[in-house]
Amino acid sequence: MKLFQSIFQNNQWDPALPEQSNASLVFVFGDRAMMQQDPFRGVLSNSFSQGDIVGCSTSGEIQGTAIYDQSLCLTAVEFDSSTVQVVDQVFVQGLNSFDFGQQLATKLSPQNLKHVFLLSDGQLVNGTDLVEGVTSSLPDGVMVTGGLAGDDVRFSETVLWHNHNVTSGLVILIGLYGESLEVGYGHMGGWRAFGPLREITKSVDNVLYELDGKPALELYKEFLGPHAENLPASALLFPLSLHQDDIDEPRVRTILSIDEQQNSMLFAGSMPEGATCQLMRANNENLIDGASDAAEIALESMPAFAPELALLVSCVGRRLVLNQRIEDEVEAVKEAFPDNCAMTGFYSYGEISPSLPIGKCGLHNQTMTITLLAERES
């Protein structure tokens, strides 16, 4: 596996892009406005004409152990023997996220499929149903990792990038193939639940209306106090822990938007009726420890191989809490990996990873999620 990394800032790529690359897969994570500028697409298509260019807008870009804003962070991957297939489709409001994911996944060839990395719009899709739909159409044992695009803390519009197509609503599946490819993954949060458990008594998919028979938004605002004026951004500081009888591990859910007239809250993932939820909070040390734990879990899932590339997807809520210490969580991840393991990724509106190394894939919030790639020698 050969890697090339570059960052676009101050009107230049550093280091300069190659005239012609043999990379089969190029990740680009960056600022929404910059991604929507046509010149970038043409320049990258010329340099990386042999591969698929994929990426998304973010709430902060990760390259190495640094965090960037208003940049484009590029990582080009030239595999030794592994192959790539990328499929995409635009999701529009009114579609069923499960059916959409199921149909999109059928576009991937199942033969020798090793892993799927998923990038999705972060505003329009029910992430829970999307992931379940995708996994239901994949061969047994094929796991899904990835994340939902971000848009700083604006919660306005997210965009996805696949070759010449840069648009909102896009969902991208990156199929990775080959016997020599090794994949590891792990996720961890570091948030702590507190306060009473409350039952979800009225919801539709990922829209929450009532908790314990009372308007959910009113209850949430009562807890936030003066922070309620800054919703939905302030909700990132106090997510909800979701408990379901059929899932052993609680899932964390954060708010994407609120509806004052309906007294409701829109979440990135499903909030099923009958489930219970609890408020959460975190401190810096817990989050940094959680990132380190995610790295160790990912390494343990591929114990015989040294990772060459780490794809990090961390939640924008973690960035708000850690604030000036945000690079500490990325440095904690890097300490677990070999010096020559490259890192890239982004801050997101939702993270995708199996709950356990051999468990069910699902949507998470407020976690550090890591995907490791390596190739065995032929």
pLDDT tens across 292-334, in order? Answer: 999 999 999 988 889 999 999 999 999 999 999 999 999 999 9
pLDDT, mean of residues 183-201: 92
Task: Compute the distance between CA of residue 45 and CA of residue 278 in angstroms, rounded to an integer.
Answer: 47
Helix (H) or strand (E) holding 74: strand 72-78
Which pair of tokens denotes residue 269? 């993932």
Which pLDDT value is given to residue 352? 95
Categorize the per-residue pLDDT at 355 as very low, low, confident or very high, splitting at 50, 70 and 90: confident
pLDDT, mean of residues 60-83: 97
Task: Compute the distance between CA of residue 8 and CA of residue 55 in angstroms, rounded to an integer.
Answer: 14
Closest CA to 86 of 157, 142, 26: 26
Which pLDDT value is given to residue 227? 87
pLDDT, mean of residues 252-259: 88
Residue listed under structure tokens 């939640």: 315
Share of the chain above pLDDT 90, in %: 77
| One-letter identity of residue 297 | I
Three-state SS for 56? strand
| One-letter identity of residue 182 | E
Task: Compute the distance between CA of residue 353 and CA of residue 369 in angstroms, rounded to an integer.
Answer: 7
CB of 104 closer than 8 Å to CB of 34: no
Which neighbouring-strand residues pair with 120?
148, 171
Which pair of tokens denotes residue 260? 């004052």
pLDDT, mean of residues 242-259: 84
Average pLDDT, the chain: 93
| One-letter identity of residue 134 | V
Q: Enter the pTM of the model.
A: 0.90
Q: Is the pLDDT at 378 greater than 70, yes or no?
A: no
Of residues 139 and 255, which shows the higher confidence score? 139
Q: Is 348 exposed, middle or buried (0-12, 13-18, 19+ CB in 10 A)?
A: buried
Report pLDDT digits (tens) over 133-143: 999 999 999 99
Three-state SS for 41? helix
Categorize the per-residue pLDDT at 38 as very low, low, confident or very high, splitting at 50, 70 and 90: confident
How crowded is residue 248: how many other Cβ atoms within 10 Å of its Cβ?
10
Helix (H) or strand (E) holding 251: strand 247-253
Q: Is the pLDDT at 359 greater than 70, yes or no?
A: no
Q: Is the pLDDT at 357 greater than 60, yes or no?
A: no
Which pair of tokens denotes residue 316? 């924008």
Which pLDDT value is given to residue 154? 85
Closest CA to 286 of 252, 248, 244: 252
pLDDT, mean of residues 218-234: 89
Give, in order, the Cα–Cα distances in Å from 26 to each of 21, 223, 337, 340.
10, 44, 22, 19
Task: Compute the distance between CA of residue 10 and CA of residue 110 in angstroms, rounded to an integer.
Answer: 43
Task: Compute the distance between CA of residue 151 and CA of residue 32 in angstroms, rounded to an integer.
Answer: 7
Categorize the per-residue pLDDT at 281 as very low, low, confident or very high, splitting at 50, 70 and 90: confident
Which pLDDT value is given to residue 356? 60
Locate the domains of the chain by residue range. Answer: 2-188+285-375, 192-280
Report pLDDT digits (tens) over 90-106: 998 889 999 999 999 99
